[in-house]
Amino acid sequence: MSNVTVITGFILMGFSDIKALQTLCGVFFLVMYMAALISNLIIITLITLDLHLQTPMYFFLKNLSMLDVFFVSVPIPNFFINSLTHNNSISILGCVFQVFLMTPFAAGEVFILTIMSYDRYVAICSPLHYQTLMSSDTCLLMVTVSWAIGILIGAIYTAGTFSMPFCGSNVISQIFCDIPSLLSMLCSKTLVVIYSSLGIGVCVGMFCFICVVISYSYIFSTVLKIPTTKGQSKAFATCIPHLTVFTVFIATLREPLLPQRLERGRPSLRPSVLPSDVRGIDF
C-alpha cells in the first residue's frame, strides 16, 4: 500500500496570502453580505406586513429571500473571521456543516425559482384558473416539498462526500468548502461517489432548467398574442427579472458540477464560485 497522508483538516486559500489584502477582502465581503442581508430582510418584512402582497408570487419571493439569507450566512461570516485572524484552517467537521447547510439552501433556491416560473405560466397562460391552481395550500405544499428535497439532497451530498477519508493536499482554493474540491481529495480510487454526486447535481439542474424553458416557451407564445404593446410590456415585466435571476444562478452552478477533464482516473474538478455570491434578489 502506498504511503499517503490522511487529511484531518483543510486550508481555505481565499484570495491572497498578503495579510493586508486578506483583511480588505474580508471587510469587502462583509459589506456585501450586510447589503444582501438587509435587502432580503426588507423584502421579507414588506411582504409579510403588506396585505396587498399576500399573493403566490410574493409568497415564493419571500421564501427565496429567506433561502438567500441562509445561504450566504454559512460561508461569509466564517470567511470574514478568517480574514481578520489570518487563520485559514477549517476542521473536517466544519466542512461537514458547510456542505450540509449550503447544499440544501442552493437546491432550495433552484426549486423555488422553478416553481416561480410555473406560477408565472399559470398567471399568464391560464389566468381564469389561477386561484384554483395556485391556492394557498398548493403553494405551501410546493414550498415544503422544495425545502424537504433540498435537505435530502444535502444529506446525500454530505454522506457521499465525507463517507471516505481524504488524502494528499488539504488546500481548498476557495473561501468555503466546495464539493468539487473535496471530491478531488478523496483517497478512494472508485469513481462511484464522484459521479453519483455530479449526477445528482446535473440531473436536478437540468430538470429544473427544462421545466423553466417549457414554462417560458408557453409564456412568450401567449404574451406575443396580446394585441397591445402595453399589455405585452406589463406581462414581460413580471417575468424577465425572474428569468434573469434563474439564468445567472444556474450558470454559476453549471461549471462546478461538470468535470473538466479526466486526470489520474478521476474527474479534475475546478473550485467553484459561490453561487449567488451575496446578491440581492431583484424583482
Domains and CATH numbers, the chain: 9-268 (1.20.1070.10)
Confidence of residue 243 (pLDDT cuts 50, 70, 90): confident
What are the backbone dihedrals phi and psi of residue 266, each rounded to the nearest 5 degrees, phi first?
-145, 160
- Average pLDDT over the chain, rounded to whole? 80
Burial class (CB in 10 A: 0-12, 13-18, 19+), 17: exposed
**Tens-place pLDDT, residues 143-201:** 999 999 989 888 888 887 887 787 777 888 788 888 777 877 777 655 666 677 677 77
pLDDT score at 85: 83
pLDDT score at 191: 60
pLDDT value at 28 more than 80: yes
**Tens-place pLDDT, residues 57-96:** 999 999 999 999 999 999 888 888 888 888 888 888 888 8
What are the backbone dihedrals phi and psi of residue 115, each rounded to the nearest 5 degrees, phi first?
-60, -40
User: Which triple of cell numbers denotes residue 236?
Assistant: 414581460
Strand partners, 16: none
* Threshold 0.85, pTM exceeds: no
User: Which triple of cell numbers denotes residue 147?
Assistant: 425545502
